[in-house]
Structures are given as structure tokens and as C-alpha cells.
Amino acid sequence: MPQLPRTTGLGFKPEHFRDIMAEPGVIGFFEIHAENYMGDGGAPHAMLAALRADHALSIHGVGLSIGGAGKLNADHLTRLRKLIDRYQPESFSEHLAWSSHGAAWLNDLLPLPYTQQTLTTICAHIDQVQDRLGCRMLLENPATYVTFTQSTWSETDFLTEITRRTGCGLLLDINNVFVSATNHRFDARAYLAAFPLAAVGEIHLAGHDTEELPSGPLLIDSHGAPVADPVWALYAEVLGQIGPVPTLIEWDTDVPGYPVLLAEAAHAQALLQSVKPGQSHAA
Amino acid sequence: MLHDLSHAETERAFHKAIWGIEPPAGVTAPDRADVAQRFKVYRNNVQHSLTRALAARFPVIEQLVGAEFFTAMARVFIANAPPRDPVLLRWGDCFATFLAGFPPVSHLPYLADVARLEYARGCACHAADADPVAPEALTVPDPGALRLVLHPSVALFTSQMPAVQIWQSHQPGSTRRPFARGPDHALIARQPDFTVIVERIMPDTLAVLAELRDGATLGHAATKADPTPALTLLLRHGLIIDTDRGAVA
């Protein structure tokens, strides 16, 4: 699989299709949610084919439930393989989370304990995914609101061990880091210092919402607001350490007009370009 | 003991709690007092995102019962028939059956049929692609021997109630008109420009279209009724994707 360009990308929204195609190539790459392109035909595929002709593409799955206790959905893996064969993306990524239980699909990225047992299951799932899809995948760190008493691994150690065992790369979502750090009252910089940055193949940036709990703020990973200042600051620091990395702006709810997304992308691009050209990406 | 909860048990407890009231055993937070409020974020995400996915698939049902009622009803439907697959564009096939048997909407007997129509529209949206033939493909000697291959999105819809008219009257810009008595019939299909049409048709046109869809020759379909309205519709919307001579079939 060829690599994503080390520039800024945007999550593709069909309502922006005309704006994008009026001036193709302005954005370095687009990312799609795989599950929205699993119909047989129609407008989604027509738009994606046109988009793909002029842009690098990242396929981001939300449906595999890699962190689930049960078996992976073999039909879904087949559909993903078909999508990858058809559109030849530069990257495929999924989440450290689960979304289905038994036969029920819950449509959310749910958290899991970090134990020896979950580690073994997840590594087996990732081996199966990489084998079936014929490519190295990136695994995204989650934003969480609760943790589990039975966890025996830190999230960063857990992710490090997953990359070591499976050879997968990581998708570092810096908004998720900030959300989880705030919610669980730990230091985002300490988390990033422990994060296996050498395995990072892509960065996600997004906005969040804030609720107030009696004990302090609870941040919600809403993807419905501009990237927050502290997240930009963490992003700049990560770039300083590992050099330019393909970076995606995600905006999935209350999606604004295309110019708003372009402005967010331009901000990320300025930070990417401020990184010394000599600094090379370690992954 | 909590530490003995297996991965599967943790997941089962979490899943159960999504539909329950208490947070599951084993989840925690720096201040244990707000675990319930934190867990509620997951419960809300699951219920809200699935409700919105259902509303996106059945927008006229949401209009007919109102957003607040729809949300409450969706909660019952989702808890009883959650999606079985991560591809939500296929979800909702049993929503019409649910509506037909849901006592709080028994005073709206047309609701199930409107839901069937909306589901069929969604299927047409995502059906396989195929290019239409040029209209000249029908101007051949002995056209009565032709069989038509219709676009994969083509669906024929029938309701014993005025479900098509009810659906049409809830489209943007539609004007209120008294409904003709049912039954209602419609051709549902996707045009080459990806617009999905819901075209109310007469019983004769339905009969001809059904014959053509099932592989009858034009000549045989014409024994049911005058095929002109059906052929006009199919050509106007680009829904004939191939023809072959009847004798070979």
C-alpha cells in the first residue's frame, strides 16, 4: 500500500462534494468511513470514485469491533477487502474499541479493559484483519469516559505491545488524548511521552464538547467543533518530535460549510510546514 | 470478584447496562461518584446515533408522528430489534412490521406502508449501478418479441391505503390535496442522475411493469394493458439497461 502524503486531509462529507471538485487537489487527502460505502452502487460510490481520481484516500473503519470479545464479522471483513480492492486507498485504519455484542450492532466506539486477555484477543483480531485485507493497518487510540477496575496495562503500554506483536501502525488522535487525559485527570504530555510515536502513521484532530461534573470537566469527543487550542499545542509538540505526519481534520456532527474546514486544514498545514524539513517521519 | 470478570463478561455487562439504568460493574473513574453520569455518555451515544440513523431512513414517519414521539418509539424499536450489521444503510427492514404491531400507533393504519415505501426508496438509493440503453433500442422490427432488462433499483410498490399520496404530501414544496382512495401503486427507482423517483402509477401500468420486470416479452406484457405509459416511464427515467430477443430466453 503506498503511503498518505505528509500533509493535511479532511474527512469527506458528501455535502462538500461540489466545493471539493470545483478546485480538486487543494487538500492532500480525504478520509471516508468505510461503512458508508458498502451499498452496491448509487451516489456514494460515484462521488467516491470521482474524489479518489484526484486525491489520496484513507479508509477509516468504524465497524470491525476489533476490541470485542467475540469473533470478527467475516462478512464485514470481506466487504472491507472489496472496498480496498476497488479504491486502492493509501491507508486503512480502525479503532481500539468494540461496537457489537453478539448479533447486536451498537453504532458507538465502546471502551474495554486493558488486560492480558484483551491484549491476546485484540492482537489475534489485528493479525486476522491485516491478513484478510492484505495490508498493514493503523489502530486509533480511543477517547474514553470511564476506565475499568480490572485493567492491568496502561493504554500506552497496551498500544505499544499491540504494535510490537502485530506490526500494525497507530493512528494518534490527539483530541482523544486530550479528552481522555482531562476525563481521567492525567497529564496529556506524560501520555504522549509514553506513546510509541515511532509507529504513528496518521494523526487525527477534532473538536470536543465540555460537560461539567461535580468532580470537574467531562469532555465529549463530539467531532462537532473547531479543534481546541490545547489540542493544537499538543499537535505542534508531537510534530516537533516526529516531523510531518499525514494529519486529518475530523468534523462529523453539525458539519459546517467547506470554507470552515479549509481554514482548520490550513492551520494544521501551517504547523506541518513549520516542522524542519530535515526532520523525518520515523514510521 | 471484579478482577475475575472475563473480556466477554465485561462486554456483556456493559452491553446490558446500555439498555438499563445502572452503570455496569467494573467501570470506574477518578471520582467514583460520577461514574453513572460518565456511563450515560455511552448510553446516550448509542441511543441517539441509532435513533438518528432510523430517522434518516424514515423521515416521513418522523414527520407523521412528530420528532418527540419518534424518538420514544425508536427507543422501543432499537431495544427490540437492534441493527445486526455495521452497515446501517441496510437497517430498518423490519420497521414496518414493528409499526404494524405497535399499539400506540394503531390509530395510524397507513404508517407501516409509508415505512415500507421509505425503506424501498433507501434500497433504490444504494442498488447496483447500470447504464440505460438508448431509446432507439426499442425501435426494432418486431418489438413485441423484446424482453427488457430493468435497472437494479426498480421496485414496484403497492399499498391498500393511500400511502404513496401520504408520502408525496410530506415532501418539500408539496401542496395539500385531498387523497384519492387507495389502493396506491408506485414505481420506485433511481435515475442516472441518482435522484430516486417515487412515481404514483395506475393499476394497468403496474401490471405491465410487473410483467416486464419478471421477464415477459413486450408483446406478452401488452396483453395486460396498453404498454405505452409503462414504456414512457421507463424510458423517461433511464430504467431500461438492456434488451434481448424473446426467442432466446
- How large is the ipTM? 0.94
Query: Do residues B100 and B131 both lie within one domain?
Result: no
For chain A, the residue count is: 283
**Joined grid coordinates for residue B154:** 426498480
| Residue B158 falls inside a structural domain | yes
Of the candidates B31, B42, B82, which has its C-beta nearest A105's C-beta? B82
Residues of chain B found within 8 Å of residue A112, distances taken between Cβ atoms:
7, 10-11
Domain count, chain B: 2
Facing residues of A101 across strands?
A104
Instruction: Note the pLDDT of residue B64.
Output: 97
Query: Do residues B153 and B210 both lie within one domain?
Result: yes
Query: Do residues B202 and B85 both lie within one domain?
Result: no
Query: Do residues B134 and B239 both lie within one domain?
Result: yes
Which residue's C-alpha cell is 467494573? B26
| Residue B14 falls inside a structural domain | yes
> Among B77, B108, B139, which residue terminates a domain?
B108
Q: Where are the extended beta strands (E) located within chain A?
A: 8-11, 29-33, 56-60, 91-95, 98-101, 104-110, 138-140, 147-148, 169-173, 200-206, 209-213, 216-220, 247-250
Query: B83 Cβ partners below 8 Å, 6+ apart?
Result: A104, A105, A107, B50, B53, B91
Q: Count other C-beta atoms under 10 Å from residue B79's C-beta.
A: 13
Query: Do residues B242 and B146 both lie within one domain?
Result: yes
| Residue B194 falls inside a structural domain | yes
- Residue B145 burial by Cβ neighbours in a 10 Å radius (0-12, 13-18, 19+): middle
Which residue's C-alpha cell is 479508509? A59
Of the candidates A62, A103, A107, which has its C-beta nearest B53's C-beta? A107
Rg for chain B, CA atoms, rounded: 24
Coil/strand/helix, residue A63: coil
| Residue B117 falls inside a structural domain | no
| Alpha-carbon gap: B212 to the closest alpha carbon of chain A (Å) | 23
Residues of chain B found within 8 Å of residue A214, distances taken between Cβ atoms:
31, 33-34
| Residue B114 falls inside a structural domain | no
Residues of chain A found within 8 Å of residue B152, distances taken between Cβ atoms:
40-41
Q: Count other C-beta atoms under 10 Å from residue A183's C-beta.
A: 25
DSSP at A166: H
* Residues B91, B85 contacting (CB under 8 angstroms): yes
Question: Rounded distance, CA B103 to CA A243, Å?
Answer: 61
Closest residue in B to A37 (Cα) is B87
pLDDT in tens, chain B (249 residues): 445 689 999 999 999 999 998 999 999 999 999 999 999 999 999 999 999 999 999 999 999 999 999 999 999 999 989 999 999 988 999 999 999 999 999 999 999 999 999 999 999 999 999 999 998 999 999 999 999 999 999 999 999 999 999 999 999 988 878 888 879 999 999 999 999 999 999 999 999 999 999 999 999 999 999 999 999 999 999 999 999 985 544
* Residues A171, A139 contacting (CB under 8 angstroms): yes
Of the candidates B5, B29, B153, which has its C-beta nearest A150's C-beta? B5
Q: Tell me whether residues B126 and A41 touch, CB distance under 8 A.
A: yes
Sign of CA dihedral B212, B217, B219, B224: negative
Of the candidates A69, A150, A215, which has its C-beta nearest B3's C-beta? A150
Closest residue in B to A106 (Cα) is B46
**Joined grid coordinates for residue B219:** 408483446
> Among B108, B137, B159, which residue terminates a domain?
B108
Look up the pTM and report it: 0.95
Residues of chain A found within 8 Å of residue B20, distances taken between Cβ atoms:
none
B215: left (phi over 0), alpha (psi -120 to 50) or beta: left
Question: Rounded distance, CA A160 to CA B28, Å?
Answer: 23
> Among B108, B139, B170, which residue terminates a domain?
B108
Query: Do residues B47 and B130 both lie within one domain?
Result: no
B243 CB near a chain A CB, below 8 Å? no
- Residues 116-155 on B with a CB inside 8 Å of A are 125-130, 152-153
Each as own residue / partner, the long-range contacts of residues B34-41 (CB below 8 Å, 24 or more positions apart, any chain) are B34/A213, B34/A214, B34/A215, B34/A218, B35/A146, B37/A213, B37/A218, B38/A145, B38/A146, B38/A183, B38/A213, B38/A218, B39/A145, B39/A146, B41/A145, B41/A218, B41/A220
What are the backbone angles phi and psi of residue B169, rounded to the nearest 5°? -70, -10
Rounded to an integer, what is the distance from CA A61 to the centroid of its chain?
9
Interface mutation target, options B3, B10, B51, chain A, most CBs of A under 10 Å: B10
Question: Rounded distance, CA A129 to CA A137, Å?
Answer: 8
Query: Do residues B69 and B160 both lie within one domain?
Result: no
Query: Do residues B131 and B103 both lie within one domain?
Result: no
Helical H runs in B143-240? 163-169, 203-213, 218-221, 228-236
Query: Do residues B146 and B229 both lie within one domain?
Result: yes
Instruction: Note the pLDDT of residue B65.
Output: 98
Query: Do residues B139 and B193 both lie within one domain?
Result: yes
Using alpha carbons, select from A199, A271, A192, A281 the residue that is nearest to residue A242: A281
Q: Report how far apart, in Å, the C-alpha atoms of A142 and of each of A80, A159, A174, B46, B244 are.
A: 21, 11, 10, 16, 55
Question: Rounded distance, CA A171 to CA B212, Å?
Answer: 52
| Residue B24 falls inside a structural domain | yes
- Which H or E element spans position B200? strand B196-201
Query: Do residues B97 and B133 both lie within one domain?
Result: no
Spans in chain A with pLDDT lower than 70: 277-283
User: What's the pLDDT tens digit per position in B5-52?
Assistant: 899 999 999 999 999 989 999 999 999 999 999 999 999 999 999 999
Range of the domain at B172: 126-249
Q: Tell me whether residues B10 and A69 touch, CB distance under 8 A.
A: yes
| Residue B120 falls inside a structural domain | no
Residues of chain B found within 8 Å of residue A146, distances taken between Cβ atoms:
23, 27-29, 35, 38-39, 42
Instruction: Note the pLDDT of residue B178.
Output: 85
Class of the CATH-defined domain A8-274: alpha beta
Query: Do residues B145 and B246 both lie within one domain?
Result: yes
B182 CB near a chain A CB, below 8 Å? no
